[in-house]
Structure formats: C-alpha cells, structure tokens
Structure 1
C-alpha cells in the first residue's frame, strides 16, 4: 500500500477514536452506563472480527494473553463507566480529559519497566500534563483547589475510574510492547470486554435500555469508531509514517474534547481548552524526551 495513503488511514483512526467520549456518553444516557457499554463493545467486537479477524491464541505468550486481557478489559470498563457515571455531559468531557493522562504515563512506564532511554524533559512533561488536568477540573476558575475538590466530590466514582484507567492503559501499552511479539489480540480483548459488561449487567440492578432512533444511531457510530478504528490504525502503523502518526496522536485530547462538545451540545470554557492544550503539550514533551 502507498505510504501516504496508509498514513491518511492511520490519521482517520485518530479521528474515529476521538469521537468515543461523546458517543459513549450519548449511548449511556439512553441505555444506562453498563448496558450501553455492553452494547457498544458487543458491536465493536463483531466489527473487529470482520476488520481485524480473530487471533490464533496458541501463538500468544501466556504473559501477553493473561496480562493483556485483564488490563485491556479493565481499562475499557473504567473508560466507559467513568463517562456513563458522570453527573453531567460537561463533566463527562472533563472525565475524558483525565483519561488522557495515559500518553505521558505510558512513556514514564516505558522508562521504568522497558528500559526506554530518555532525558530529564520527561519530568516537566508529566508535570505539565497533570497541571492541565487540574486546570480542566477547576472549571472556569482554572487552577482553583476548592472548585477542583467540589468537582471531584460531586462524582467521585467517575473521576476515580478515569484516573485508574489512565494508569491501566499505560500498563497495557507497556505489557503489549514487551510481551506481544507481533501478535494482536484486540478482537479477543474487545469481545472479553463485552462479555464482562454483560455479566455485570445480568448480576446487578441496571436501568432499562431504551432503543430510540438517536441512541441506536450513536450506538452504531460508536461501534464503527472502535471497530474500524483499530483496523485503520494497524494499516497506518504497518505501512504509513509512524512518526507523523505518533506526533498527531498527542493532539487527540483537544480533538476528542471538540468532537464531544459538538456531539453532546455542551460548550466548554476557555480555561478547559487551556488545560487540554497543557495535557497535549505535556504529552508531546514526554515523547520528545525519548527522541533525544
């Protein structure tokens, strides 16, 4: 495949994934946090079967199979439920920004556990990302401790899940880099996520799922974004310009927030965008620290 075309397909994956925050929240409002997430990952898993295919598990190392499965499923559940449990749409977008600590954390984990070489620029990079998240949580006040505290207390489970998810995904990326050995278990992992959510849905009291046309449309869009996103990303990584894809991916927090604000009809404050740009800048600085 032509390298330029493959790079464009990889960039399309970034756009598709950037729609996830707004779409997951929209589906959760109609079908409930757990039921909506179960439907999303069921549809996504079926699409992954078509676009990526089911892997030959016999080729997986036990470490990748077990650790990869547990970490991926845990992360996706944390992400989906953190968005679904958020008190408001605006808060869901803020929670999504907390989740985007993972790029900086992934680089820190790679340095700590995979022997990745870096410069000391990684320290201010992580600090800027954390500052950006705090800036977002401060609402229109920016970096304001009382407002940050009120925000978190209003929906502690949602923020805790998002924060935990950032660490879990960083761990997943580290494990994949170290133990995958060229294998891709994404289809299996997505299907396991769906199964886990259906088990939770069956064993706990959940609101009734309401299948209105707008919700079903967004469910299909979300399934496509996740299912085709992984296929597009694989093409980009295998045949495209990886440096371009890596650099652009660090601007995902801003793109994700913009698309979520549009999907959810939830305008965001100027201080939110300041914080989002800080998260991007911090992630880029961490990435730059490993390039020297």
Structure 2
C-alpha cells in the first residue's frame, strides 16, 4: 500500500471518529445507556473481526494483555456511559469535548513517567485546554466559575465519567505503547468491552431495547464509525504520514462538535466554539512543548 493511500485512510479514521459523540447520543437515546453501548461494541467487534481479524492472544506480552485490557475496557465504558447518561444534546457535546483532553494529558503523563520535568510550554498548553473546557461548561453566563459548577452539578456522573475516561485513555496510550511490542489487541478489547456491558445490562434493571428502522440505522452507522475507524487508523499509522495524521487528530474536538451540532440539531454559540478551539490549541501547544529537538546532520543549515 502506498504512503498517500494509507494517509488518506488515516484521515478517514479521524472523520469517522468525529461522528461518535453525536451517533452515540442517538443510539443510547433509543436503546438506553448500557444496552445501546453493548449493541454498538458487539457490532463493532464483528466488523473488526472481518477487517483486522482475531488476534493471536498467546503472542501478547502479559503486561499488554492484562493492563491493556483493563485500561481499554474501562475507558470505553466510561466514554459510552458518560454519553449515554447525558440528559440533553448539549450535555453530550460538552462531555465529548471533555473526553478530548486526553491528547494533552497523554503528553504530560509520557514526560512524567519518563522521570522528566514538563516544559513550561507543555503546562501552558494544558492550561489553555482547561480554560477551553471551562468556557464550554460555563457557557458564558455570568461568573464563569459559578456557571461551570452549576452545570457540573446537573449531571456529575456523566461529567465525572468523561473526565476520568480521558485520564484512563492517557494512561492506556502511554503504557501500552511500551508493553505492546507490535501487538494489536483492538479486536479482543472491543469484544471484552461488549461482554462487560452485556453483563451490566443483564444484571441490572434496564429499559427495553427499541428496535426501529431509525434506531437500527444509527446503530449500524456508529458501529461502522468505531470498527472501520480503528481499522483505518491502524493502517494509517503503520504506512502513512504519521506526523500529518497526529497533527490533524488534534482537530477532532472541533470536527466532532460540528457534526454533533448538525446531527442532533443542537445549535452551539460562539462561546462554545471559542472553548473548542482553545482545547485544540492547547493540545497543539502541548505537543510543540513536548517535541524533542533533533541535532542537525552534516550539510543541514536548519532552515
């Protein structure tokens, strides 16, 4: 496969992932937070088996198998349930934005776990991202801090799950990169996430699964966005332009919010878009702050 084609597949993954928040909100509206999430991960698991195949678990390093499974399943449950338990479309979009704090957190954790001190530019990037979240949650109403706290008190479960999910995914990105040794357990992880969610569905009182043409259509779209998104991203980072894909991935919060706004017919004000851009900008500043300077090779002038 050519590099340009692989890069296009990576870009398609970014676009697919940007639809997850809006589609997950719709799916869980029809099927309930737990049942809807279980259906999504079941369907996405089937797609991953067809596109990537089932991994050879016996070849996995033990640390990657156990720790990777724990972190991945915990994150996916946090993400899906935080969106599922949201009480309005605007809440779901806000929760999706909180989830995208993970790029900045990943860079910070990578530095800290290497025993290094984070650079001032990296800390500035995290501060900018947090300012963006506070703008989104405060909604520009009166005192920013009081408005943000009032918003959080409306649904602490969803907002809390989203925030802890971002931390968990940051840990997954940093730790499994060291432990995986070239292995890809995404299919196994999706299947285990589905099993965990179905267990919760069967063991606790849950609303009836409402199968209609609309709900099934939304379910299929979301399963494709998740399953095909991961498959396309895997090809992109292996054979494509990683630097370009990494840069574009930092704009997922804005693309995701735009899609969710249109899909859910939820208008978003100027304050929200300022906050979303601050989250993206903070991640980029954090990324620049974490870049290592490469020594010039012979014959290079650095221009």
Aligned partners of 1:118 and 1:144: how far apart in 2? Answer: 28
SS in 1 for 2:206: coil
**How far apart are 1:118 and its partner, in Å?**
6.1
Task: State the alpha-carbon separation in 1 of the partners of residues 114 and 192 from structure 2.
Answer: 27
Distance (Å, rounded) in 2 between the aligned partners of 1:264 and 1:42 = 24
Q: Map residues 1-292 of structure 1 onto 2, 5 A cutoff.
A: 1-114=1-114, 119-141=119-141, 144-292=144-292
Distance 1:279 1:155, change over 3 A: same
Per the normalisation by structure 2, the TM-score is 0.94
Matched with 2:295 is: none
| 1:3 CA displacement | 1.1
TM-score, L = length of structure 1: 0.97
Task: Name the CA distance, whole Å, in 2 between partners of 1:93 and 1:143.
Answer: 22
Count of residue pairs the alignment pairs up = 292
Pick closer, same or farther for the CA change 1:116–1:53 going to 2, 3 Å. farther
Q: Can you list the C-alpha shifts for 1:69-94, whole angstroms capped at 9, x where unaligned?
A: 01000000000010111111111100
CA contact (8 A) 1:119 1:290 kept: yes
**For the residues of structure 2 that align with 1:42 and 1:195, how far apart are their CA atoms?**
8
Distance in structure 2 (CA, Å) of the matches to 1:282 and 1:176: 24
> How big is each residue's C-alpha offset from its partner over 1:20-71, in whole Å with a ceiling of 9 and x where there is no partner?
0000000000000000000000000110101111111111111111110010
Q: Aligned partners of 1:245, 1:61: CA distance in 2, in Å?
A: 27
Native 8 Å contact 1:136 1:142 kept in 2 = no
Question: Deviation per CA, 1:130-181, whole angstroms, max 9, x where unpaired?
Answer: 1111111011438711211111111110000000000000001011111001
Provide the C-alpha distance between the structure 2 equivalents of 1:58 and 1:91, rounded to a whole number of angstroms: 42
Calculate the aligned-residue CA RMSD, in Å. 1.3
Does structure 2 conserve the Cα–Cα contact (< 8 Å) formed by 1:125 and 1:286? yes
- Contact map agreement 2:101 2:279 (CA 8 A) in 1: yes
- Checking the alignment, whether the CA contact within 8 Å between 1:20 and 1:222 is kept in structure 2 is yes
Quick one: distance in 2 between partners of 1:80 and 1:140? 27
State the 1:120 CA deviation: 2.4
Matches of 2:141 and 2:71 in 1, distance apart? 35
